[in-house]
Amino acid sequence: MMNLPEVPPARLEEEWAADKDVLASLKESGDIAHLVRPVDVSFRGDDAALDKLEADAEELGFEVIEREEDEDGEMCLFLGREQAADETSIRALTRKCVQIEMAYGVEYDGWGCTSEDGSDDEDDTEETGQAH
């Protein structure tokens, strides 16, 4: 297991404030938080930093989804994993993503997932995400 740096509590609180808004909007759309679903996270950075993160993604518990340029010409790396979207799971995800930001010299840009209401109907899943 990789050694990741400790996150300053103030930084976690800042991220958690944004997470709480996303979790509230998921709940409003009928989400059942304990259902496991794909959750994606994104990081911005230069090619060298993103190359290193991409190489280590699996060891960090993620799979690489894609790397693309955003509207501002910055490179973004999207990683994903299967997990629930309850408060405890999202807190753990956010902590890990801020640790990755600190360890790899990239900028954590938030997470997103679909709202899962327990039905198998793909049409009523709603993409919910967080932007910084």
Here the tokens at position 88 are 């405890």
pLDDT in tens, 86-109: 999 999 999 999 999 999 999 999
Q: How far is it, in rounded angstroms, from Cα 43 to Cα 98?
A: 10
CA 104 to chain centre: 15
pLDDT value at residue 70: 87
One-letter identity of residue 48: A
14 membership: H or E segment, kind and range: helix 9-28
**What are φ and ψ of residue 125, in 5° steps?**
-85, 140
Helix axes 9-28, 87-104, angle to 10 degrees: 140
For the chain, residues with pLDDT lower than 50 are: 123-125, 131-132
The whole-number pLDDT of residue 125 equals 47
Domain boundaries, the chain: 9-98
SS3 call for 87: helix
Domain 9-98 carries which CATH code? 3.30.70.970
**Residues facing residue 38 across a β-bridge:** 82
Partner residues linked to 78 by β-bridges: 42, 66
Identify the pLDDT of residue 87.
Answer: 95
What single letter denotes the amino acid at residue 12? L
pLDDT of residue 42: 97
CA-CA distances (angstroms) from residue 46 to 28, 58, 66, 106, 121? 37, 20, 15, 8, 39
CA–CA distance, 85 with 70 (Å, rounded to integer): 26
